[in-house]
Structure 1
Amino acid sequence: MIFLLGGPPRVGKSIISREIQQKHTVSVVSTDTLGAVLENVLSPEATPDLFVFGKFHEMPMAERVKLIMKDPAELISYVRKESYVVWKAVEAFIRRENDEGRDILIEGVAILPELMGQLEDIPHRVVFIGNQGENHKENIKKSAEENEYDWMRGVSNRYIGAFAVFVKRMSGYIEQETMKYGFKYIEMDKELFGDVTEEVMKSLGLSTS
C-alpha cells in the first residue's frame, strides 16, 4: 500500500513518519530527498521552478523575514511551483513501488491535495496535517533546538516568528484544498503530538498499537 502524509514545512511530518516506521514494517521516504536528487541532475536553466524555493533560502535573513511578513502567499506560490516539479519524481517512485508490491510511506511538502488525482489508478491512502496555532513559533524553536542537524537551529527568533506565520498561512491553504478535493486534514494546534500521530495512523488505516 502507498501511504502519503502531506502538509507545510515544520509541522512534524518527519517525526510522525518515524513513529509509524517504528510500529509498522513500512519504509519512509521524504519528498525532500527526491527533490534533492532532481536538483543534482537538473539545471536551474531547464527547470527554474525546482530551484525557486532554494533561492529564497539564499536571500539574506532580513530579506527573507521581510518577504514572509509582507506576503506569505508569495512564498506559498514558491512552494507550489517547486512541488509540481518534485511531484514528477514522487509519482514515478510511487508507481515503481506499487508495481513491486512494496509498502511505502512518503511524506513531504510536495504532496498537495491538487496533485492526488494523478494517483487515481494507484491504491493509496493520504492525510494532511497543519498547524494554524498562534504559539507554533515555540514548537518550531523547540524542535530546532533538539536536533543538531536542523537547518533552523541557531536562526533568530525574528526569523522563526516570521516562518511560523508562513506555516500558519500555508496550513490554512492546505486545509481549504483538502475540503475542495475531499481529503482529511488534521489541525495540530489543539491536540497533543501523540494524539495527532495516532489520528494520522488511523486515517491511513494503520494500527495504533
Structure 2
Amino acid sequence: MPEWFIQGGPVMWPLLIFSFAVSVVTLERLFFWLMEKQRRDDKLVSACLRQLLEGQVDEIQRLDAAHPDPGVRMIVRGVNELPQNPASRIENLAVNELQRMARGQSLLDTVITMAPMLGILGTVLGIIESFEVLNQSGVADPQSVVGGIAEALITTAAGLCVALLALLPFNIFRSIQSTEIIRLETIGTDFLSAIQSSGLFDPAPKE
C-alpha cells in the first residue's frame, strides 16, 4: 500500500471498500444503460399504438411478452389483459421496471453520505492522537504534532474523493432513469387512450 494510505489510519480501509463498490456499481449500471439503449425500439412502440387506435390487436398479441424494450412489453402485456382493465397490469410492470432501473443507486447514495463522514472521523481520531503525543512530549517537538495533524487530514481528502467518485455516476444514472420513467409513463398513457378511443376497452361500468 502507498505510504499516504497507511498514514491515513484504519478509516482508509472502509473508504477503499467504498471506492471499490462504487466502481463495480458504476460499471454495471453503465453496461445496463448501454444495453437498454440498444434494446429500445421506438418504431415498434409507435406501430403498436397506431394498430391499437385502429382496433387491431392480432399482430401485437403475436409479439413476445418478454420483449427487450420495456415499452413494448408494457403494450403487449396490457393487450393480453383485454377486455379486462389493463391499468393495474401496466402499473405493476412500471413498478418492476423502476426497481430494475434504480438498482445500485441506494449504495451510491449511501457512499455519498458516509464517505465524507468517515473521512472526518479519521481526521478527528488523528488529531486526538496528535494531542496525545503533544501531551506526552510537551512543546519540545511541535513538528511531530503538526506532521500528525497533516497526516490526519488525509482521511478527509480521501473521504471527499470517494464521495465525488460516487456523486457523478449517481446524478448521471438518476437523470437517465428519470428520462426513461417519463417515456414509460407516456407510453402507458398513450396505450390507455388508444384502447379507449378504439373501443377495445370501455372504462365505464356496465349496467
Instruction: Indicate the TM-score class for this superposition, using the shorter chain for normalisation.
Output: under 0.3
Larger fraction in helix: 2
**Length-normalised TM-score, structure 1:** 0.26
> Which has the higher Rg, Structure 1 or Structure 2?
2
**Length-normalised TM-score, structure 2:** 0.26
